[in-house]
Structure 1
Amino acid sequence: MYALTTRDLIRASKLLITLATGLFGILVGIDYLAGLPKVFSLIRQDLLLSVLAEEYPIAYWVTRLTWVPPSAYALVTAAHLLFGALCLVGARQMVRHLDSGASAFHDSKRLSVLGLLIGLLVVGLVLGVNASPWLFQIVARPVSSLGISLRMFDVILVGLVFVSLKNDD
């Protein structure tokens, strides 16, 4: 019979955190891809409203640089897909090294840590942008996404710190 050790539980926890955040990144990226045509049409409609430029000063510049909002949306979508893919590939490498020594397992976490770092940056960026009221007008995202972004930022930050720590076996 196999006895479950603390080392096994810690490694399994790191693997599950990486898998969960990787799936989150992929699902959000797919959701953003599915909403792309709708968002681009909303951006075009909102940029035509002169009220927007009067109500939100930053929208004046956005109306002059019409390529910025769609480009930013596409970049955020790609970043979510990238961070999700890196986490999933990193989790696969972690699975291969579950029974390896401490050094080999720690080295197998590189892509996971990189994916979590990109995820932290992109979710932090989305969190900062969601806090800007003018973006609600431009991309028509619901206000409740601010709370979701804040929670995911916390989860990814804690996951990044936990996964990146080296455990001595």
Structure 2
Amino acid sequence: MRISNTDQLIRYSKVCLMAYISFFGLLVMYGNLTDYSANYEYVGHILSMDTTQINENIRYRAIESPMMHHRIYWFIITTEAIYTAYCLLGTYYLYRKINESAAAFHEAKRYSIIGLLIAIFTYYVCLQSIGVEWFDMDTSQVWNAKDWARHIVDFMLPVLIFITLKNER
């Protein structure tokens, strides 16, 4: 790795950030697959709303079917696997084009952008929006992933913006 100027450093920083997110995705996938029951329990409590503040006006939203809990959890695991695969591909293509023209490097961002959008969908739409706003997850004292998901989005959204910027020459 020979960084000769700031433009080259910017390219390497984009590759590194995508590698960090890919690594995070691999850890999350590994955890969900090797300790399925722990996170399944988490999803089950959120969906059944059994640990949230009792608000009879929204209790109709609860999903109490274990079969649905498994299906929704597998949907989340699947989106995590897909975003991780895209981020890994994005890292690979960015690295492969690191010494190419600005246009070639910019086009290599495609998989990274797709992966980051899917990751933001998973953590912002699924956990932040649906978990908090629909299933009232933020009122649970024990089963609350609001802050965890927010921290992930707080990292991934600026990375998405940085990756998409066309500041390489």
Check 1:79–1:14 CA distance in 2 against 1; reply closer, same or farther (3 A cut).
same
Give the alignment of 1:137-156 within 5 angstroms: 141=143, 143=144, 145-156=145-156
Count of residue correspondences: 162
Q: Equivalent residue for 2:76?
A: 76
| C-alpha distance in structure 2 between counterparts of 1:41 and 1:155, whole Å | 26
- Corresponding residue for residue 55 of structure 1: 54
State the secondary structure of the residue aligned to 2:166: coil
CA contact (8 A) 2:11 2:98 kept: yes
Between the aligned partners of 1:53 and 1:106, the Cα distance in structure 2 is 46
Larger radius of gyration: 1
Q: Secondary structure at the match of 1:55?
A: coil
CA separation of 1:150 and 1:166: change in aligned 2, threshold 3 A: same
- Distance in 1 (CA, whole Å) between partners of 2:120 and 2:63 is 29
Give the SS at the match of 1:131: helix
Residue identity in the other structure for 1:55: I
Q: Tell me how far 1:25 sits from its aligned partner.
A: 1.6
What amino acid does structure 2 have at the position aligned with 1:20? Answer: Y
Partner of 1:7: 7
Match of 2:105 in 1: 105
Cα distance between partner residues in 2 of 1:3 and 1:116: 26
Corresponding position of 1:127: 128
The normalised TM-score by structure 1 is 0.77
Q: Following TM superposition, by how much is the alpha carbon of 1:127 offset from its aligned partner in structure 2, in angstroms?
A: 2.4
CA 1:114–1:62: 2 relative to 1, 3 Å? same
| TM-score of the pair, normalised by structure 2 | 0.77
Separation in 1, partners of 2:89, 2:52: 44
Conserved in 1, the CA contact under 8 Å of 2:52 and 2:137? no
Q: Identify if the C-alpha distance between structure 1 residues 101 and 70 changes in structure 2 by more than 3 Å, giving closer, same or farther.
A: same
Gaps of 5+ in 2: none
Instruction: Write the distance in 1 (CA, Å) between the matches of 2:15 and 2:147.
Output: 26
1:161 equivalenced with 2:133 (yes/no): no
